[in-house]
Structure formats: structure tokens, C-alpha cells
Amino acid sequence: MPKFDSPIGSKQFQGQPMRDISVPDEGGYDQQPMSQRRHTREQGPPVFDEASMREFQAQLQPPSPPVREMTNVEMDMIAAKKAKREGKERLSDGARRRIEILVGMTRLSKDVEIDGQLYRLQTLKSKELREALVATSEFDGSIQLVFETRKQLLARSLILVAGVEIAQFLNSDELQAKLDFIEEVDHSLLLRLYNEYVLLANEAQEKYALKTVAEVKEVAEDLKK
């Protein structure tokens, strides 16, 4: 029987036998030896290479919608809307073709033969004439005005040189190349070509000018409408 002794007294009490406790095997217990488990912990977590990490991160990201390229029609529509907002609407292809046909029917040309060489001049569009006059305006009041006016007009009017189209003759269709060519032409030849251009311009003006009183009245009535 168990007994308890102390300086102030002693006591005996009824004890109970100790029980045996058995722990069942759960099946998931790591049977790996302690030394091997310690070695595994010291090695740290597994190391991923860069390719594996990128692939893993890509799987976490939501898929991006496919990027669709705009068609030419869509780009033309966007450009047309922008031009309309800015007040710079472009001519449609149909309108441009009609203008080209009209210009082809009304634009006059003239062949001039000088020393056996064929030159061809043509009348200018309103845009070309305006550009030529604007380019000469800075020389207004100076002696250079006459020379610059002649150069600017002929550079836009001359389309055939020595029987060859001027773009092919100069190997360029740029206006600056034509202006440089006019600067190099002999003055007497340049003066003859300019005089022929003036005759052509007068012919065109005479052709489309109002010739009778009835025509003048008709135009005046159209303007009132």
C-alpha cells in the first residue's frame, strides 16, 4: 500500500494499479529513419528552374483575349471619322475619279517643236496655279519676281522634254527636281517656252469665257438661286 511520510505526519492511502495504453498504427506515420529525415530537412525545399517558374506563373494568370488586327476597311472608317470631326473630310474615290475625268476633258495641252526637239505644255489646275503664285509672293516688288514666276509656272506646266516625259527625263517626279531643271535651261529656250505657255493659258481662258450677253445673264441667274 502506498505511504506518504512528512515531518508533520504520515498517511497511507489506497493506490490504483497503472494502466497500459496502446497506440494504434495510423498507417500515415513516417517510417523514415530519424537521420534520413534530418538530412531531408537540411536540404531545404526543391529548386525550380526558370522555365518551370515561368510556366507555373503563366498558369496562375488568366488567359488574355486574342488580339485582332484591324482590317483596311476599319482603318479607313476610323480615318474618315477623324477627318469629319476635324472638318477635313477627304474626297471619296468616286468623286475623285469624276474630277479626274473632268480635268482630263477640260485641260488643254500644246506641243512646241524647238530645234527638232518636242516639248509639251499643259494648262494648270487651280491648286497648281495657287501654289505657284504663293511661291512667288515673297519676291513681290523685286526684280526676281519675273524670273521666279516663270520658273514656278513652267515647272508645273512642262510635261514633255525632248520627246520624253519629264519625270522620266529627270528620273524624278518631284517638284523640286523640275524647278532645278528650269534653272538650268538656256534663257532663250525658257523665254520661248514661257511665251507658249501664256498663249496656251489665254486659249483656255478664251475657250471657257462667257462670250454672249445671254450667257452672262444665265450665270447671274444661277448665282441668285
Q: With helix as H, strand as E and coil as C, how does 36-70 read?
A: HHHHHHHHCCCCCCHHHHHHHHHHHCCCCCCCCCC
Asked if residue 32 has pLDDT above 80, the reply is no
For residue 114, the tally of other CB atoms under 10 A from its CB is: 13
pLDDT at 23 over 60: no
Distances (CA, A) of 212 to 95, 148, 150, 203: 32, 36, 33, 17
Res. 155 pLDDT band, cuts 50 70 90 = very high
Q: Reply yes or no on whether the pLDDT at 154 is more than 60.
A: yes
Q: What is the pLDDT of residue 66?
A: 60
Mean pLDDT, rounded, for 113-141: 93
pLDDT tier, 218 (very low <50, low <70, confident <90, very high otherwise): low
Name the residue with cell 507658249: 196
Per-residue pLDDT, 49: 65
Give residue 51's pLDDT.
72
How much is the average pLDDT of 93-97?
63
Q: What pLDDT sits at residue 91?
A: 63
Confidence check: pLDDT of 4 > 60: no
Which pLDDT belongs to residue 126? 87
**Residue 109 — φ and ψ, nearest 5°?**
-135, 160
Q: Is the pLDDT of residue 130 over 70?
A: yes
For residue 124, what pLDDT is reported?
A: 92
Does pLDDT of 200 surpass 80? yes
DSSP classification of residue 185: S
Tell me what pLDDT residue 92 has.
66
Which pLDDT belongs to residue 107? 81
Nearest to 185 by CA among 129, 119, 136: 119
What band does 209 get if pLDDT is binned at 50, 70 and 90? confident
Using the predicted structure, report yes or no on whether residue 222 has a pLDDT greater than 80: no
**What pLDDT is attached to residue 72?**
64
What would the grid cell of residue 65 be? 483575349
